[in-house]
A and B are shown apart, each in its own frame.
Chain A
Amino acid sequence: MNSVESQVMVILGARPREARHLLAILQEIQAAFRYLPKEALLIVAGALGISAARVFSVAGFYKALSFTPKGERLLTVCQGTACHLRGSGKLIESLQSRLGFKIGQSSSDGRLGLESVNCLGACALAPVATVDGAVHGHLTPEKALELI
C-alpha cells in the first residue's frame, strides 16, 4: 500500500462504510492532504460501493473540498455583509495585488493560500480575516500582511 492508500484506509476505518458518510470522509481526506487526490477518490468509491461519478460530483460541489492543493497556511478574508460595508472588497483587492495571486489560489511555493468566507460572525470587528483558523479584526491590508 502506498501512503495515499494507507491514509485513506485509516480514514475509512473510522466509521461504518455507508454512503451517507461520503462528505465527512472527503473532508477528512481534504484535511489530511490539503486536496483530494484522484487516487483517494477512487478508493473511496470502491469502499463505499458507489460510482466514481457520484464521488467526483460530491467532491466538486462543496466549497470546502478542492481538487488542487490549498496553501499550507491559509489567509481567509471574510466577505460577509458587515465586512463588505466596512471595506473587505478593497482589502481583498489590495491583498490580491500585493501577493500576486487571487482568492482561491496559492503562492507558487504552496506555502500561502488566499481564501474567502461568507461570514465568520465577528461582524463587530469588521473587516475580519482568519489566519489558520484564528480570527483577527479591524484589518487593513498592512495588518493582514503582517499576520502572515
Chain B
Amino acid sequence: MLLKDQAGLEALRSGLIAGPKPTRRLWVCGGPGCLASGAAKIQEALVREAKGQGLNFEIEFRADLTGCLGLCEKGPLVGVEPEGFLLEKVALADCPELVFETLRHGRPIERLLAARDRFKSHPFYQPQVRQITRRFGQTVPGSLTDYLKTGGYKALGLALTTLSPAEVSLMVERSDLRGRGGGGFPAGRKWASCRLAPGSVKYVLANGDEGDPGAFMNRSLMEGDPFSVIEGMTLGAYAVGASKGFIYVRHEYPLSVERLNRAIQSAEKSGLLGRNILGGSFGFSLEIVEGGGAFVCGESSALMASVEGREGQPRVKYVRSTEKGLWEAPTLLQNVETWANVPLIVENGHEWFKGQGTSQNPGTKVFCLVGQVRRSGLVEMPLGSAIRKLVFDVGGGTGAGRSFKAVQIGGPSGGCLPDSALDLPLDFDNLSSAGAIMGSGGLIVMDDLSCMVDVARYFTGFLMGESCGKCSPCREGLTLLYRILDALCQGRGRSGDTQKLKKLATLLSKTALCGLGQSAANPLLSTLRYFEAEYLEHENEGFCRAGRCQGLFWPRIDQELCSGCGLCRKACPAQAISGQKNKPHKIDLANCLSCGACLSVCRFGAAKAARKDS
C-alpha cells in the first residue's frame, strides 16, 4: 500500500501493532554462523512439524529466520516468544519435541536451554546493550511490516514533517556520532560539509564492503535489519540534498544483496523510497552495487572508483569526497553501521544518543568476538567498555588449559594488544594510542599457542595480496616485510631482521598513499611493540615459544599436568606419542615432526613448546 503522508504511516503502524498475533513465535537465528550450521533447514522443519501436529499457522504459531542472535558458538539458536527462552545447539532431530513441548505447551527443553530470559541474565548477553541489533530476534529481516511494528520509519516520518534538512544534519552533528567503519571520523562534520557543498547533484553511499577477516558485523546488520540502513540513508539524503544513493556490498555476501534488494523494493512500493516520499516533494532512490572481491574497495576513494565501474584504486585526497566524490559530485559516504545509528538519533534526539558510551565516543558499537575464546559471537556494547569485559565476561576467556596472550583489534589495519592493555576502554582514541584501531570492530582473541610473528606474517601476507599496487611503499614494502617474516617463521631469520622490520614498517606507514597502506604495518608494529622478545627468539635462537612455527620447538609433556587422556596420542600424525590411559604420556622426539598438533589438542596445558636444545 502506498503511503501518502506521515499520518498514513502512523495509522498503518498502529493497525499492525494492534493486529492479531500468533500465540507463540519461534525465532531461528539467521546469522552467518547459524546458517552455516543448518538454521534454514531447522526453520523449515519447525514449520512443517508444527503444521503436522495440527497447529494453525499465523494463529497459533509462526517460526521464522531472524537476524543474528549473537551466540554463534552455540548455534543454531532458537528464541521463543513470549516466554523468552533461548535454545542452543538445536538439531533437526529436536524439532518434533520442540514443537510439542515448547510451541504447544510453552515448556522449554532443558537440555537445549541456554537462557530463560533470552538476552538478560546469560553472561554472554548481560553486559550488552542491544541498540543497533535490537531487531535481531524480533523481526523477519526485510519485512516492512515487522520493521514498522518495531518503530521503523518513525524517524523519517518525523523528519519529513517537522524538521528541515539543516535541522536533521544538525542533530547528527550534535550527537557526536563517529564513523563506525574504522577511523571514527566525526560523522556530523561530513554531513555539514556535504550539505554545504555547492552542486545540484549529490550522492549518499553506504560502505558494506566488509573485508576484514574475522568481521561479520556489517553482514549481520545488512542481513538482519536492512531497513535501518535504508532509513538512515534516506535521512542522510534528505539532510544533504541527495536524490540518489548506492550501497556497496561485498561480493561474498549474496544474502545481504538479496535482503537489501527485497527491502528496497518494498520501501519503493510503499512510498518510502522513490519519488515523492510520504507524498512530499523529497525523492530518493537506492541501488545496490556488488563488489568484485577486492579488499581495497573498503577504502573510500577506491569504493567510489568501483561504483563508477573502474578499478578500485584509491586516489590522493587533496579534495574531500564530501565536496568532490562520486562522479565529482559531493558525496556522503558512511559505513552501514553508521547509517543504522541515524534513525535512532533523529527519533530520540542527540542527548538520548549520548546516554550510551563516553563523551568523546557516544553510542554503542557492534563487535565480532572470535578466535580462541569460549563464546564466539556478535556483541553490541557501549563504546568505552573495558576490553577485559568483552573478552572475559562476554566471551568467557580462552579455552581449557590455555592462557590469554593477545587480542587483535581492527582487522588487518589494527593491532595486537597484550594483557596489560585489557583494562583499556574500547573506544576510537584509546585504541589508536595503544597501537590498534577500532576498525570495523573485529576482536580476535589469541591464546598462548598463537605466535605473534606468525600473526604478523598472516596479516602482512593478507595485505600483500590485497595491495592494489598503485603506490610503491605498499606494493614493494609489504613484499619485503613478508619475506623477512616468512624467513623468521621458518627458522631462516638473520641477525638484525627485527630491526630491519621496524625500519621498513615505519617507512611504509609514513609514505603509503592511502589509509590502508598507511595502516598496513600496524599488525607488525603492534606485535613488535608488545612482543619483541618473540621476534628476537625467532631471529637469534630459531625458537617459537608458542609452538606454532613448525621445526622451531620440541613439544614436551609435563608429567605432572598430563592426565593421560590420550587426545595428543590420537592427534599425533607421526605416532610419536605413547602412554597408557590415565597415565602421563611421552613423546619420542626421534619420530616427532614438531608440528604442534599435540599442543593444540591438550586441554590440561600439559603439552608445551620447549627450546630444541633444552
Write the B284-310 contact mask toward A (1 if CB under 8 angstroms, else 0): 000001111111000000000011111
Contact between A119 and B212, CB atoms less than 8 A apart: yes
Contact between A124 and B600, CB atoms less than 8 A apart: no
Interface stretch (choices B31-39, B59-67, B418-426)? B31-39
Q: How far is the CB of A78 from chain B (nearest CB, A)?
A: 8
Q: Contacts of B291 on A, CB cut-off 8 Å?
A: 23, 62, 64
What residue in chain A is nearest B450 (Cβ atoms)? Answer: A85
User: Does A123 count as interface, using CB distance less than 8 angstroms?
Assistant: yes
Q: What residues make up the interface of B, taking CB atoms closer than 8 Å to A?
A: 32-33, 35-37, 72-73, 75, 211-216, 219-220, 251-252, 254, 289-295, 306-313, 368, 370-372, 376-377, 408, 442, 444, 446, 450, 458-459, 462, 466, 468, 595, 600
Interface residues of A in 87-139 (CB under 8 A from B): 87, 90, 117-126, 128, 133, 135-137
Contact between A62 and B294, CB atoms less than 8 A apart: yes
The distance in angstroms between the C-alpha atoms of A124 and B74, with both chains bound, is: 9
Contact between A63 and B309, CB atoms less than 8 A apart: no
Known: A24-B290, A57-B311, A62-B292. A123 touches B252 (CB 8 A): no
Q: How far is the CB of A101 from chain B (nearest CB, A)?
A: 19
Contact between A82 and B214, CB atoms less than 8 A apart: yes
The distance in angstroms between the C-alpha atoms of A16 and B461, with both chains bound, is: 39
Contact between B32 and A121, CB atoms less than 8 A apart: yes
Contact between B32 and A23, CB atoms less than 8 A apart: no
User: Does A58 count as interface, using CB distance less than 8 angstroms?
Assistant: yes
Known: A22-B309, A57-B311, A81-B371. A124 touches B458 (CB 8 A): no
Contact between B213 and A118, CB atoms less than 8 A apart: yes
Residue of B313, B376, B462, B466 touching A82 (CB-CB under 8 A):
B376
Residue of A20, A81, A133 touching B213 (CB-CB under 8 A):
A81
Could you say which of B252, B312, B408, B450 has the most chain A C-beta atoms within 10 Å of its C-beta? B252
The distance in angstroms between the C-alpha atoms of A50 and B77, with both chains bound, is: 50
Provide a sorted-by-A list of 27 A–B residue pairs whose CB atoms are within 8 angstroms: A19-B308, A20-B308, A20-B309, A22-B309, A23-B291, A24-B290, A27-B292, A62-B294, A63-B293, A64-B292, A65-B292, A65-B293, A79-B462, A81-B371, A81-B442, A81-B458, A82-B371, A84-B213, A85-B371, A90-B595, A119-B216, A119-B252, A121-B219, A123-B376, A124-B75, A125-B33, A125-B72
Contact between B214 and A61, CB atoms less than 8 A apart: no
Q: How far is the CB of A48 from chain B (nearest CB, A)?
A: 8
Contact between A122 and B408, CB atoms less than 8 A apart: no
Contact between A128 and B368, CB atoms less than 8 A apart: no
Interface size range on A against B: 35 or more
Known: A57-B311, A122-B33. A63 touches B294 (CB 8 A): yes
User: Does A54 count as interface, using CB distance less than 8 angstroms?
Assistant: yes
Q: How far is the CB of A112 from chain B (nearest CB, A)?
A: 20
Q: How far is the CB of B450 from chain A (nearest CB, A)?
A: 6
User: Does A143 count as interface, using CB distance less than 8 angstroms?
Assistant: no
Contact between B32 and A120, CB atoms less than 8 A apart: yes
Q: How far is the CB of B605 from chain A (nearest CB, A)?
A: 17
User: Does A21 count as interface, using CB distance less than 8 angstroms?
Assistant: yes
The distance in angstroms between the C-alpha atoms of A18 and B308, with both chains bound, is: 10
User: Does A71 count as interface, using CB distance less than 8 angstroms?
Assistant: no
Contact between A119 and B310, CB atoms less than 8 A apart: no
Known: A24-B289, A62-B292, A122-B32. A80 touches B213 (CB 8 A): yes
Q: Contacts of B75 on A, CB cut-off 8 Å?
A: 124
Contact between B312 and A61, CB atoms less than 8 A apart: yes
Could you say which of B289, B292, B306 has the most chain A C-beta atoms within 10 Å of its C-beta? B292
Q: Contacts of A135 on B, CB cut-off 8 Å?
A: 32, 35-36
The distance in angstroms between the C-alpha atoms of A27 and B212, with both chains bound, is: 22
Write the A46-89 contact mask toward B (1 if CB under 8 angstroms, else 0): 00000000100110011111000000000000011111111100
Contact between B309 and A122, CB atoms less than 8 A apart: no
Contact between B215 and A121, CB atoms less than 8 A apart: yes
The distance in angstroms between the C-alpha atoms of A13 and B308, with both chains bound, is: 19
Q: How far is the CB of A113 from chain B (nearest CB, A)?
A: 15
Known: A64-B251, A118-B211. A23 touches B292 (CB 8 A): yes
What residue in chain B is nearest A80 (Cβ atoms)? Answer: B213
Q: Contacts of B450 on A, CB cut-off 8 Å?
A: 85
Known: A58-B309, A122-B36. A85 touches B293 (CB 8 A): no
Q: How far is the CB of B428 from chain A (nearest CB, A)?
A: 21
Could you say which of A24, A27, A80 has the most chain B C-beta atoms within 10 Å of its C-beta? A80
Q: How far is the CB of B339 from chain A (nearest CB, A)?
A: 19
Contact between B290 and A123, CB atoms less than 8 A apart: no
The distance in angstroms between the C-alpha atoms of A120 and B32, with both chains bound, is: 8
Q: How far is the CB of B392 from chain A (nearest CB, A)?
A: 18
Contact between B33 and A124, CB atoms less than 8 A apart: yes
Contact between A128 and B36, CB atoms less than 8 A apart: yes
Q: Contacts of A121 on B, CB cut-off 8 Å?
A: 32-33, 215-216, 219-220, 368
Residue of A23, A54, A85, A120 touching B306 (CB-CB under 8 A):
A23
The distance in angstroms between the C-alpha atoms of A125 and B33, with both chains bound, is: 7
The distance in angstroms between the C-alpha atoms of A29 and B254, with both chains bound, is: 17
Q: Contacts of A64 on B, CB cut-off 8 Å?
A: 251, 291-293
Contact between B307 and A20, CB atoms less than 8 A apart: yes
What residue in chain B is nearest A116 (Cβ atoms)? Answer: B465
Q: How far is the CB of B489 from chain A (nearest CB, A)?
A: 11
The distance in angstroms between the C-alpha atoms of A20 and B304, with both chains bound, is: 11
Q: How far is the CB of A102 from chain B (nearest CB, A)?
A: 14
Could you say which of A19, A85, A121 has the most chain B C-beta atoms within 10 Å of its C-beta? A121
Residue of B36, B214, B254, B312 touching A119 (CB-CB under 8 A):
B214
Q: How far is the CB of A53 from chain B (nearest CB, A)?
A: 11
The distance in angstroms between the C-alpha atoms of A23 and B291, with both chains bound, is: 8
Q: Contacts of B294 on A, CB cut-off 8 Å?
A: 61-63
Known: A57-B311, A63-B293. A125 touches B372 (CB 8 A): no
